[in-house]
Amino acid sequence: MRFDEAGRRLGSSLRPLLVHKVRTILALSGVAVGVAAVVVSSAIGRGAQQEMVRTIERMGTNLLIVKPLPVKRLVARQAVSGLATTLRIEDYEAIAGLALVAAAAPGVEGNARVKVGTIAMMTTVRGTTPVFPSVRRFQIAAGRFFDMEDVRRSRRVAVLGARVTDALFEGQQPVGQEIRIRGVPFDIIGVLQAKGTTTDGADEDNQILVPIRTALRRIFNTTWLTTVYVSVREPARMNDAETDIQDLLRARHQRGLDSRTDDFAVQNTAKIRSVQQEMTESLSLFAAGLAAIALLVGGIGILALMLLSVRERTSEIGLRMAVGAQPRDILAQFLVEASALALAGWTSGIVLGGAAALAVALGTTWTVGVPVTAVLASFGMAVIIGLGFGALPARSAAQIPPIQALLRT
Amino acid sequence: MIELHAISKTYTRPSGDTVHALSDLSLRIDRGEFVAIVGASGSGKSTLMNLLGLLDRPTEGRYLFDGRDVASLDVANQARFRNRYVGFIFQVFHLLPRTSALENVELPLLYSDRASTTGLGRRALEAVGLADRLYHTPSELSGGQQQRVAIARALVNEPDLLLADEPTGNLDAQSASEVMDIFDALNRSGRTVVLVTHDLAVAARARRVVRLKGGRVVADARPTEPKDALEEVQ
Ligand SMILES: Nc1ncnc2c1ncn2[C@@H]1O[C@H](COP(=O)(O)OP(=O)(O)O)[C@@H](O)[C@H]1O
Ligand SMILES: [Mg+2]
């Protein structure tokens, strides 16, 4: 077939679509919605995936967090916040000594009112040790982190989180200045780089870090810890390390081997992440299911339009056969028409879905990108739908005997 | 050119009873003839035309075209045959709506295996006197003009045989006469024309008149003077 003739055949196949604009748009909108659903769900799925990668980068793949549990029946000692008071510095030291543990950082934290000059704010104050930045993956933006010497001497030095710095200093250099924590003056020796909000909503930039002993004695006046951050040597042995810590603490606290009597809990970030992963996956599976249904509906729309189109144009089919069209020419004509419908639906779906993904990207902090695979896969689906649902009407059109087609009106 | 041997066409109605539209019909038409098929309504004229143009197959009998048995060709080859050798003209024109005269005329070229088709559509429209109506759609043309577009479409692939089933049935006398002038000219330039009509004035312009009745040929006259042929079959 020559090129100009192919063009003319295409034109003569597509003309009916342009004549019946409204019903063409109706028929292709199903495919458009389906394709848009594919694009949006995969864009959001990818956003969630990237968000998880960011979380992993922030938390590390090897972090365990030990916390005291709220204990109501604990009457032996007055519990400040209803938490068990049994997690001690010695526990932290024992945990740090475990074979599977690469590093551990103790933490005692609470909310405190802090003040620089005349500006005051509420923030989280956390006492810890110099390994904290490496265990929790913080970078120093300016100045330095405190060292063991600062800890041993219970020095009143503080390292500020990025948000605290922004709130209190508004672009000025905080290092070397003084900050009052619950009225006690501290020297600011360093500033942390920003990390952003975590997926659970906690703002890790809204904190002030001070040496652990300083925090225990001068700020909170307690002897027990609220957290132990544990960095495990091999990410593959997270669960073993978790068990080791549980065994160690149960032995040290002498509360038996039953987890129901534990006065502490170990958060395994690997487990949390795998739950998140499963949620993301089932979410994208759900979205894929929705998209499949929408595409099916779109296909039925095309089927309906094509059946109508064949029925309306039976005498045209007869005429084309009378002037020499072979069954395969008629088949091709209607397949082209159905595919054009599906492709027009696909194009509008890509535009629609792209716009929706853009809206999500602008409305959230997520980096949303439309994956090329989604574009290609939905293209494939549109073509298959066009050919699949167009085939039946096209075949029936091609098989009408010419004289019967001509006489039908 | 055309030889029909003992052709029968039987239709079975949905009710189950059968209709013998053509029975044991034999007919020979030579190249360059201008034949009018006449007969009462229901006598089998359209059925005959459809068989001649391979729009339908006979129930029995043989159809030789230039010595070739064409009725037994497969569907694709019958389509090719229609495209190359036959031009159809129908009573109801059968033009594609919202489509220009030129595109309507070029329709058979879409299915042709010719090497070049440039200018053929335009030339066919010029031949029927519609050179100034190339881009008019059917709704912008009179009935006579529409039928002339249909004739141009039948001509565009330069077929050997023109089959016209009541081509003037929907036209006023003036348009009918114009259309017949075209058939006349086409036949004079060597084309074989077979047309069905029950208008005697139309039949009078053919060179041979075949009368059908109950699916059989009951009269066949081909004298030198067309008018006499008509009288003879009457
Ligand atoms: N598709 C068909 N099914 C059943 N009967 C038919 C069909 N086509 C034609 N006939 C019958 O065959 C006979 C011849 O019809 P036709 O060739 O159309 O006659 P004409 O064109 O001379 O009026 C008529 O009795 C008609 O009713
Ligand atoms: Mg008839």
CB A188 within 8 A of CB A178: yes
Bridge partners, A50 (sequence order): none
A65 assigned to some structural domain: no
Mean pLDDT of chain B: 92
CB A52 within 8 A of CB A42: no
What is the per-residue pLDDT for B94? Answer: 94
What is the per-residue pLDDT for B223? Answer: 57
The answer to whether the CB atoms of A328 and B75 lie below 8 A apart is no
Same domain (yes/no): A295, A192: no
Helix runs in A220-326, H state only: 238-253, 269-312, 314-322
Is the CB of B13 within 6 Å of ligand 1? yes
For residue A54 the two structure tokens come to: 């960011």
Q: How far is A320 from chain B (nearest CA, A)?
A: 7
Give pLDDT tens digits for B135-185: 999 999 999 999 999 999 999 999 999 999 999 999 999 999 999 999 999
End residue of a domain, out of A213, A236, A262: A262
Count of domains observed in chain A:
2
Structural domain of residue A147, as residue ranges?
70-262
Is the CB of B175 within 6 Å of ligand 1? no
Find tokens 């132990």 and name the residue. A228
What is the per-residue pLDDT for B230? Answer: 66
Sequence-distant (6+) residues with CB within 8 A of A268 are A64, A238, A239, A242
Bridge partners, B5 (sequence order): B62
Same domain (yes/no): A123, A193: yes
Domain locations along chain B: 2-233
CB B8 within 8 A of CB B59: yes
CB-defined contacts A:B, below 8 A: 70
In whole angstroms, how far apart are CA A322 and each of B78, B111, B146? 10, 11, 18
Is the CB of B21 within 6 Å of ligand 1? yes
| Predicted ipTM of the assembly | 0.94
What is the per-residue pLDDT for A41? Answer: 81
| B192-225 per-residue burial string, b: 16 or more CB within 10 A, e: under 16 | bbbbbbbbeebbbbbbbbbbbeebbbeebbbeee
Question: Which chain B residues are within 8 Å of A328, Cβ to Cβ?
Answer: 76
Same domain (yes/no): A359, A239: no
A22 assigned to some structural domain: yes
Bridge partners, A83 (sequence order): A70
Same domain (yes/no): A293, A376: yes
End residue of a domain, out of A262, A288, A305: A262
The pLDDT averaged over each successive group of 10 residues in chain B (234 residues) is 95 91 96 95 95 95 95 94 96 93 95 88 94 95 96 95 95 92 93 92 90 94 64 67
Neighbours of ion ligand 2 (CB under 5 A): B 46
Question: Which chain B residues are within 8 Å of A14, Cβ to Cβ?
Answer: none
What is the per-residue pLDDT for B146? Answer: 96
Does domain B2-233 correspond to CATH entry 3.40.50.300? yes
Same domain (yes/no): A204, A255: yes
What CA–CA distance (Å, rounded) separates A327 from A309? 17
Beta-sheet pairing, A207-211 with A119-128: parallel
- Contact residues, chain B to chain A, C-beta under 8 Å: 50, 53, 55-56, 75-76, 79-80, 82-84, 88, 90, 94, 96, 98-99, 103, 106-112, 117, 153, 157
Question: Which chain A residues are within 8 Å of B76, Cβ to Cβ?
Answer: 326-328
Same domain (yes/no): A94, A221: yes
The answer to whether the CB atoms of B94 and A315 lie below 8 A apart is yes
The answer to whether the CB atoms of B107 and A329 lie below 8 A apart is no
Same domain (yes/no): A34, A87: no
Mutate to test the pocket of ligand 1, among B10, B46, B213, B217 (most ligand atoms within 8 A of CB): B46
Sequence-distant (6+) residues with CB within 8 A of A330 are A317, A320, A321, A394, A397, A398
Bridge partners, B35 (sequence order): B194, B208
Kindly state the helix (H) or strand (E) to which residue B216 belongs, with its residue range. Answer: strand B216-221
Q: How far is A315 from chain B (nearest CA, A)?
A: 8
Is the CB of B131 within 6 Å of ligand 1? no
- Considering CB atoms only, which of B56, B79, B88 is closest to A325? B79
Q: What is the number of the ligand 1 atom nearest to the C-alpha of B48?
A: 17
What CA–CA distance (Å, rounded) separates A316 from A256? 88
What is the per-residue pLDDT for A47? Answer: 77
> What's the number of CA atoms in the CB half-sphere (13 Å) around residue A123?
30
The stretches in chain A having pLDDT less than 70 are 1-6, 57, 71-81, 196-202, 365, 367, 409
Same domain (yes/no): A81, A213: yes
End residue of a domain, out of A234, A262, A290: A262
- Considering CB atoms only, which of A316, A318, A327 is closest to B75? A327
Q: What is the number of the ligand 1 atom nearest to the C-alpha of B50?
A: 17
Same domain (yes/no): A314, A212: no
A270 assigned to some structural domain: no
Q: Smallest Cα–Cα separation from B108: which of B53, B66, B71? A: B53
Same domain (yes/no): A255, A227: yes
A365 phi, psi to nearest 5 deg = -90, 0
Burial class (CB in 10 A: 0-12, 13-18, 19+), B118: exposed
Question: Which chain A residues are within 8 Å of B71, Cβ to Cβ?
Answer: none
A63 assigned to some structural domain: no
Same domain (yes/no): A198, A312: no
- Looking at all shown ligands, the one closest to residue B212's CA atom is 1
Same domain (yes/no): A116, A238: yes
Mutate to test the pocket of ligand 1, among B47, B49, B90 (most ligand atoms within 8 A of CB): B47
Helix runs in B13-88, H state only: 45-52, 75-85
Q: 0.80 exceeded by the pTM? A: no
Is the CB of B40 within 6 Å of ligand 1? no
Find tokens 């982190």 and name the residue. A145
Question: Which chain B residues are within 8 Å of A319, Cβ to Cβ?
Answer: 94, 96, 107
The answer to whether the CB atoms of B111 and A326 lie below 8 A apart is yes
